[in-house]
Structure 1
Amino acid sequence: MEIAFFGTHRNKLGESPVWDDARQCLWWVDSLVGRIHAAAPEGTAIATFVQDQAVGSIGLAKGGLVAALADGFYAIDGETGAATPIVVLPADATLRLNDGKADRAGRFLSGQMQLHTNGEPSDASLWQLSGGEATALADGLRLTNGICFSPDGATLYFADSLEGVIRAHDYDAATGAIGPRRDVVDCAAFGSGPDGATVDTDGNLWVALVLAQAVACIAPDGTLLRSIAMPIPYPACPAFGGPDLDTLYVTSIADSGGRLISDHVDAGRIVAITGLGVTGIQEGRYRDNHIRE
């Protein structure tokens, strides 16, 4: 195993890495400053798109990207970065969209976060975007993170980071409906709540343990298979990428806007881990007639 830095990129709040197999590049966001970045496999910058609000997460889409901006879902032109609204959620100044991921059938899911938590459940929801409409799949959340899907797409994983428990739901690929919650693991046992997550081809979860400065590999039954110490504070979100999908990219946080702040010399950088002996799954593309070919 080798751990190296990916280019010289630094972010305040690095999130939502996703490998683009068509363009052979890594996309990610610097959330609070509203920037969407792309870089080639060797780390050379390709594009930076600036939005007028926070970017919670992104996914691949026809003609570019789909993005969960603070107030709703937008189509992002892959050449210019122009944002076109798909669905703007009901106005609520206490919430913004956060982590997100496309399912295997072409929908896009993103969950909200409470901007000023008081320790109590809020009105934050997990939203599913499909056919130009958004549907709430779960409510009463505070900080939605860790959205990912099993290799066959039949299980949805996500977490409320402040609760700390990775949960699973049966997921109907045909309809997008979810089944009852079942808990996979309480990450408090690992010294951190879960942040972003992805899965490998074996169905194991790779989870950023943001407060433990580590990335954990967790089996679907909750067994901790391995934990990898990171050379950066506050690892935020992992994603498999590279031409063979055998590199694990991990974004990190230098300043989350008050909750997490670090003056570490490498805070906010992206780590690339190779030699893990596992591969990831190419993330799906959001399919919607609101986004051009």
Structure 2
Amino acid sequence: MMEQVPTSILSNDPCHLGEGPTYDVTTDTAWWFDIREGRLFEAHLGSGAIRVHALGRMASALGRIDAERQLIVAEDGLYVRKLADGVMTLFLPLEADKPDTRSNDCRVHQSGTFWIGTMGKKAEPKAGAIYALHRGKISTLFSGISIPNSICFSPDGGTGYFTDTARAVLYAVPLNPATGLPRGEPEVLLRHTGIGGLDGSVCDADGNIWNACWGASRIDVYSPQGERLRSLGVPAKQASCPAFVGPDLSRLLVTSAWQDMDAAARAADPQAGYTFLLEASARGRAEPDVELA
């Protein structure tokens, strides 16, 4: 059964491809990206104030370094961004020699290791990969990925999850909790069937996986065993990624997109690309800081 929980619009500035939401509990600030338009959104939830930053390049995710800096994952590399003035400095290149690829889904492991997904700008088959930034160096975890999504981690840090949306399979990978690096091969946790596709995910404090079902106007919640527990309605067809927000991390921020919609499709889905807040009664977890060395 689809739950219709109280839902509000956080931003009605439609994102071409909204992605990469995260929340800084120390400042009550949510961040997310419009990948296609090279924009970074900053929303202070308490006041409702929203700022939009032009990045000058496609970017899809960030990790908090400390109170003054963020690490931005962009189409050509990783950039340190200063919050005070927005100045971005290249930290490490990533696929800078591949102009046809860009970053996509990413998330920081509890150890501070950053998992980073890339893909073709036209979703070319097997053009992307999933990398790990660990102790200042980038290594390849999984190659031949078409559309990397659902990167998230169990509360104890011992399991990582990811999908290649094109394969409609969510994988579970055993990890070293101290490093966030694999210590075994990916295994199939669940196979998605029916309407929509697996997009971005986040794990709650109980280890449940909250997944945005692209094309189906919903968030699905799965147990660590792959059983679907809940489905929450989202007022836009192409929900793309969730994040836990609010002082008690019980609310769910959900990004969406109008990508690949013609005029008729957008008219039928008038809130496509909006960013929403769902009163989800979640038991969320705060995102860890990324470690650069």
Verify same fold: TM over 0.5: yes
Write out aligned runs for 1:132-151 (5 A).
132-151=136-155
What's 1:109 paired with? 115
What's 1:155 paired with? 159
Write out aligned runs for 1:14-25 (5 A).
14-25=18-29
Alpha-carbon distance in structure 2 between the residues aligned to 1:270 and 1:83: 25
- The question of whether the paired residues in 2 share the 8 Å contact of 1:6 and 1:42 is answered with no
In the alignment, is residue 64 of structure 1 matched against residue 64 of structure 2? Answer: no
1:3-38 CA deviation, whole Å, 9 max, x = no partner? 221143432211111110111111111111111111
Give the TM-score normalised by the residue count of structure 2: 0.91
Alpha-carbon distance in structure 1 between the residues aligned to 2:266 and 2:60: 20
Alpha-carbon distance in structure 2 between the residues aligned to 1:45 and 1:33: 21
Match of 1:98 among 76, 88, 104: 104
What's 2:7 paired with? 3
- The question of whether the paired residues in 2 share the 8 Å contact of 1:32 and 1:257 is answered with no
What's 1:205 paired with? 209
- The question of whether the paired residues in 2 share the 8 Å contact of 1:59 and 1:100 is answered with no
Gap change, CA 1:194 and 1:131, over 3 Å in 2: same
Alpha-carbon distance in structure 1 between the residues aligned to 2:53 and 2:126: 34
Aligned-pair CA distance for 1:104: 0.3
Aligned-pair CA distance for 1:256: 5.7
What's 2:133 paired with? 129
In the alignment, is residue 41 of structure 1 matched against residue 57 of structure 2? Answer: no
Write out aligned runs for 1:167-206 (5 A).
167-178=171-182, 179-187=184-192, 189-206=193-210
Aligned letter for 1:205? I
**Structure 1 vs Structure 2: percent identity of aligned residues?**
29
Aligned-pair CA distance for 1:58: 1.5
Alpha-carbon distance in structure 1 between the residues aligned to 2:19 and 2:292: 24
Alpha-carbon distance in structure 2 between the residues aligned to 1:147 and 1:256: 23
Runs of 5+ consecutive residues of structure 2 not aligned to the other structure:
none
Runs of 5+ consecutive residues of structure 1 not aligned to the other structure:
none
Match of 2:276 among 271, 275, 287: 271
Alpha-carbon distance in structure 2 between the residues aligned to 1:252 and 1:42: 22
Aligned-pair CA distance for 1:213: 1.4
SS of equivalent residue, structure 1 residue 145: strand
SS of equivalent residue, structure 2 residue 235: coil
What's 1:250 paired with? 254
- The question of whether the paired residues in 2 share the 8 Å contact of 1:215 and 1:227 is answered with yes
1:111-134 CA deviation, whole Å, 9 max, x = no partner? 11122345x433x11011123211
Aligned-pair CA distance for 1:144: 0.6
Deviates more, 1:134-143 or 1:44-53: 44-53
What's 1:164 paired with? 168
Gap change, CA 1:85 and 1:227, over 3 Å in 2: same
Alpha-carbon distance in structure 2 between the residues aligned to 1:139 and 1:251: 26
SS of equivalent residue, structure 1 residue 168: strand
Alpha-carbon distance in structure 1 between the residues aligned to 2:55 and 2:166: 28
SS of equivalent residue, structure 2 residue 78: strand
1:215-265 CA deviation, whole Å, 9 max, x = no partner? 10011111111111211120010011111100011000022699xx73432
SS of equivalent residue, structure 1 residue 162: helix
Gap change, CA 1:239 and 1:15, over 3 Å in 2: same
- The question of whether the paired residues in 2 share the 8 Å contact of 1:29 and 1:58 is answered with no
What's 1:81 paired with? 86
RMSD: 1.8
Gap change, CA 1:243 and 1:9, over 3 Å in 2: farther
Where in structure 1 do 4 or more consecutive aligned residues deviate above 6 Å? none
Alpha-carbon distance in structure 1 between the residues aligned to 2:18 and 2:167: 22
Aligned-pair CA distance for 1:45: 3.0
Alpha-carbon distance in structure 2 between the residues aligned to 1:44 and 1:79: 20
Alpha-carbon distance in structure 1 between the residues aligned to 2:233 and 2:261: 24
Gap change, CA 1:87 and 1:66, over 3 Å in 2: same
Gap change, CA 1:19 and 1:220, over 3 Å in 2: same
Alpha-carbon distance in structure 1 between the residues aligned to 2:36 and 2:85: 20
